[in-house]
Structure 1
Amino acid sequence: MSNIIHTYKSLRKTVGYIGLFLPFTLMIGGFCKSVQLQASISDYYYTNMGDVFVGALCCVGLFLFFYAGYDKTDDILGNIAGIFAFGVAFFPTSQNDKVEIIGTIHIICATLLFIILAVFSLVLFTKGDKSNSQKVRRNILYRICGIMMVLSIISLFIYFLVPKNSPGHFVFFAESTALVFFGISWLTKGGDLFFPDKTKRVRPYKRLKYLKR
C-alpha cells in the first residue's frame, strides 16, 4: 500500500512539474529555434514546440482523468478537467485573430480547465485534518495558489474586453502565472515541496534497544 501511495504522490508531483515548467520550456525551446515569444502559450502549437505543448497537456489530461481523490466530487471534477485538457490540446487556438469554431472550443476548454484547477486548490485540497499545523500551512498556500489562478482568469477576461492595437504578450504571462501556481499547488499536494508532514525518526541505538526488549 505504501508503494502505491508513493507512486500516486509521484504522479501528482509530475503533473505539478509540468504546470510549473511548461511556460519556460516553451519559451526557451522557442528561443533556441529562433522563435520569438508568442502572444499566448496556446500559440506555441503552431511553432516547433507544438509537440511539447500537446504532449504536456495530454500527460496532464490523462492524470486528471484517472485522478481518484477523497470522494466522488474529486473524481468527477478530475474527469471533467482531464477532458478539457485534451480539448485544449486537440482543438488549437485560432490564428491571426480569426474567429473559428475550433478556436472557440479551445478558449472554452482552457477557461473551464483553469477554473476547475482553481477549485481543486481552493476547495478540494483544503479538506482534511485541520489540527495538523503543517496541513494548516499548506491550506494557506493552496488558497493563495487558487486565488492567483482566479485573478489570472479575471485579468484575461478584462484584457479581451479592452480594445487594443496589438496583441502583446499579456495573455502569455497571465496564462504562465496561472500554470505556475497550479504547479506549486500540485507539487505541495504531492507532499515534498512546501510544509510536508513531519515524520518522527527513531535513532538507530533507540531502535536497537527496543528490539532487544
Structure 2
Amino acid sequence: MADHASHSAPPNRGISDLTPDQDRRTVRRLRLGIGVIGSLLPVVLPIGNSITSARVALLASMSASYYTHMRNIFVGGLCAIGVFLICYRYDRREDRLSTVAGVFAVLVALFPTEPPHSLVPDPSRVQVVVGVLHLCFAAALFAVLAFFCLQLFTDSRPEAGARPGRDWVYLVSGWVIVACIATITVSEVLHLAWDSPLTLTYLGESVAVLAFGLAWLVKSEAAAGLAPGAPPRATAVGLNS
C-alpha cells in the first residue's frame, strides 16, 4: 500500500523542471509586452490627451503627459516596461542590463519632469531638481536601450554570411534612438524651435520610443518574416547557471 502510494504521487515540479520551450515562450512574451507598450505610448498619449481635452492638444514632451489626464497611462506604461525589463531573463549580460534599464524606466516615471510654465510659472527648487533627475534617468534609459539594439540584439549572427533582415531592424532602431537623443540634447541646449505645435523634443522622444518598441517586437518574433530560424542561444539565467 505504502509502496503503491509512493509510486502514484505526482512529483514536485519546480522552476528547474521547466522545459526549454516554456522558457523561450516566457522570454518572447516579455519581449512582446515591452515592444507593444513602447510602440503604443507615443500614439496613445497625444490621442488620449486630445480626447480628454476636447481639442487637438500636442505637448512639449511625452513626459509632460504627467501633468494631463493621461498621467496614469504615462506612469503606468513606464512602470510596466520597467517591471518587464527587470523580470526579463535571457543570458547574464542581457539580464543585468535589462534590470538597469528597468530601474531607469521606473525612476523616469516616479521623478516627473519640471512642470510646464503655463501651469507653474515659478517652479520650486525641488521641482527643478526632480526635473533634472528625470532628464538624466531618461537619457540613461535611452542609452541602454540603444545599446541593446546596436550590440546585444545583433551579436548572434554567424561570423560569415549576410546579416539577416532582423539585424538591420535592430541596427536602424539603435541609431535612430542615438540620433533622437542627440537631437533632443541639441535642441534643449540651443533652445531650438520650429514653426509647428509639434516640438523637436516630443518628436525625438516619440520616434525613439517607437524605434525601441519596434526592435523589441521583432526580437519577440511577433514579425514572422523577420523571426530567427534557429532557437535562441540561451534559456533563462536560472537554467544556465
Equivalent of 1:172 in 202, 208, 232: 202
- Residue 7 of structure 1 corresponds to which residue in structure 2? 26
Where structure 1 has 5 or more consecutive residues not aligned to the other structure, the ranges are 200-213
Q: Deviation of residue 146 (structure 1)?
A: 0.1
| Amino acid of the structure 2 residue aligned with 1:6 | R
| Amino acid of the structure 2 residue aligned with 1:74 | E
Say which is worse superposed, 122-131 or 76-85, in terms of deviation. Answer: 122-131
- Residue 84 of structure 1 corresponds to which residue in structure 2? 104
The question of whether the paired residues in 1 share the 8 Å contact of 2:27 and 2:89 is answered with no
- Residue 210 of structure 1 corresponds to which residue in structure 2? none
- Residue 205 of structure 1 corresponds to which residue in structure 2? none
The question of whether the paired residues in 2 share the 8 Å contact of 1:135 and 1:197 is answered with no
CA 1:19 to 1:132, structure 2 compared with 1: closer, same or farther past 3 Å? farther
Say which is worse superposed, 60-69 or 16-25, in terms of deviation. Answer: 60-69
**Deviation by residue 1:94-116 (Cα, 9 ceiling, x = unmatched):** 01365711111100000000000
Report whether the alignment pairs 1:187 with 2:220: no
Report whether the alignment pairs 1:100 with 2:128: yes
| Amino acid of the structure 1 residue aligned with 2:167 | N
Equivalent of 2:141 in 88, 113, 135: 113
- Aligned residue pairs: how many? 198
- Residue 23 of structure 1 corresponds to which residue in structure 2? 42
CA 1:158 to 1:46, structure 2 compared with 1: closer, same or farther past 3 Å? same
CA distance in 2, matches of 1:132, 1:146: 22
Q: Which has the larger radius of gyration?
A: 2
| Amino acid of the structure 2 residue aligned with 1:92 | P
List aligned pairs for 1:113-192, cutoff 5 A.
113-130=141-158, 136-163=164-191, 169-192=199-222
TM-score (norm 1): 0.85
CA distance in 2, matches of 1:93, 1:132: 46
CA distance in 2, matches of 1:96, 1:16: 29
CA distance in 2, matches of 1:173, 1:165: 12
CA distance in 2, matches of 1:50, 1:133: 47
- Residue 61 of structure 1 corresponds to which residue in structure 2? 82
Percent identity of equivalent pairs:
33
Q: Deviation of residue 170 (structure 1)?
A: 1.5
CA 1:164 to 1:126, structure 2 compared with 1: closer, same or farther past 3 Å? closer
Say which is worse superposed, 149-158 or 73-82, in terms of deviation. Answer: 73-82
**Deviation by residue 1:50-108 (Cα, 9 ceiling, x = unmatched):** 000011001110111122232x3212211111111011000000013657111111000
TM-score (norm 2): 0.76
- Residue 61 of structure 2 corresponds to which residue in structure 1? 40
